Amino acid sequence: MQQVARFLADNSDSFVDALKQFLRIPSVSASSAHRGDVRRAAEFVRDQLLGAGLSVRVVETEGHPIVHGSWLEAKGDPTVLVYGHYDVQPPDPLNEWISPPFEPTVRDGRLFARGATDDKGQLFTHLKSLEAWMKCTGRLPVNVHVVIEGEEEVGSTSLDRFLEENREQLRCDVAVISDTSQFGPNMPAITYGLRGIVACEVTLRGPNWDLHSGVFGGAVANPINVLAKLIGALHDDRGRVTVPGFYDDVVPLAAAEHDRLEKLPFDEADFVRSLGVTAIHGEAGFSTNERRWCRPTCDVNGILGGYQGEGPKTIIPSKATAKITCRLVPKQDPEKIIHGLRTHFERLSPSSVKLEFQTFHGCPAHVFDPTSPYMSAAKTAIRSAFDVEPMYIREGGSIPVVGSLKQILRVDTLLLGWGQNTDNLHGPNEHFSLADFRRGTLASAHLWHELSCAGAMDR
Residues 230-289 that bind its own copies (CB under 8 A): 230-235, 271, 275-283, 288-289
How far apart are the C-alpha atoms of 149 and 152, rounded to whole Å?
7
Task: Rule CB under 8 A: say whether 96 interacts with its own copies.
Answer: yes
- Least Å distance, CB 157 to its own copies, is 11
Burial group, residue 187, by CB count within 10 angstroms (0-12, 13-18, 19+)? middle
CB 195 within 8 A of CB 296: yes
Phi, psi of 191 (to 5 degrees): -95, 120
Which of 47, 88, 52 is CA-nearest to residue 71? 52
Chain center to CA of 181: 10
CB 294 within 8 A of CB 247: no
Q: What DSSP string runs through 173-241?
A: SEEEE--SB-SBTTB-EEEEEE-EEEEEEEEEE-SSS-EEHHHHBTTB--HHHHHHHHHHTTB-TTS-B
Task: Rule CB under 8 A: say whether 221 interacts with its own copies.
Answer: yes
**Residue 235, SS3?**
strand
Buried b (16+ CB within 10 A) or exposed e, 347-374: eebeeebebebeebebbbbbbbeeebbb
- Least Å distance, CB 227 to its own copies, is 7
Cβ nearer to its own copies, comparing 43 with 92: 92
Strand partners, 70: 55, 145
- Least Å distance, CB 217 to its own copies, is 4
How far apart are the C-alpha atoms of 436 and 443, rounded to whole Å?
10
- Least Å distance, CB 78 to its own copies, is 30
CB 334 within 8 A of CB 328: yes
Cβ nearer to its own copies, comparing 308 with 371: 308
How far apart are the C-alpha atoms of 2 and 345, rounded to whole Å?
60
Cβ nearer to its own copies, comparing 167 with 212: 212
Cβ nearer to its own copies, comparing 322 with 367: 322
Residues between 196 and 215 that touch its own copies (CB under 8 A)? 197, 199, 201, 206-215
- Least Å distance, CB 332 to its own copies, is 13
Cβ nearer to its own copies, comparing 198 with 377: 198
Residues between 360 and 379 that touch its own copies (CB under 8 A)? 360-361
Cβ nearer to its own copies, comparing 315 with 378: 315
Query: Among residues 167, 354, 387, 456, which is the contact residue for its own copies, using CB under 8 A?
Result: 354
Instruction: Provide the pairing of β-strand 354-359 with 174-177.
Output: unpaired
Which of 133, 99, 95 is CA-nearest to residue 116? 99
Task: Rule CB under 8 A: say whether 6 interacts with its own copies.
Answer: no
How far apart are the C-alpha atoms of 447 and 141, rounded to whole Å?
9
Task: Rule CB under 8 A: say whether 351 interacts with its own copies.
Answer: yes
- Least Å distance, CB 256 to its own copies, is 22
- Least Å distance, CB 297 to its own copies, is 4
Task: Rule CB under 8 A: say whether 107 interacts with its own copies.
Answer: no
Query: Among residues 3, 21, 137, 352, which is the contact residue for its own copies, using CB under 8 A?
Result: 352
Buried b (16+ CB within 10 A) or exposed e, 125-152: bbbbbbbbbbebeeebbbbbbbbbbbbb
Sheet holding 431-433, edge to edge: 105-107, 110-112, 431-433
Cβ nearer to its own copies, comparing 28 with 132: 28
Cβ nearer to its own copies, comparing 57 with 209: 209
Residues between 295 and 334 that touch its own copies (CB under 8 A)? 295-318, 320, 322-323, 325, 327
Query: Among residues 227, 391, 434, 443, which is the contact residue for its own copies, using CB under 8 A?
Result: 227
Residues between 138 and 197 that touch its own copies (CB under 8 A)? 154-155, 181, 195, 197
Cβ nearer to its own copies, comparing 278 with 371: 278
Task: Indicate the helix (H) or strand (E) that contains 193.
Answer: strand 189-194
How far apart are the C-alpha atoms of 403 and 367, rounded to whole Å?
10
- Sole window of 105-113, 351-359, 380-388, 432-440 interacting with its own copies (rule: CB under 8 A): 351-359
Query: Among residues 78, 101, 373, 397, which is the contact residue for its own copies, using CB under 8 A?
Result: 397
Query: Among residues 12, 31, 99, 157, which is the contact residue for its own copies, using CB under 8 A?
Result: 31
Residues between 43 and 72 that touch its own copies (CB under 8 A)? none
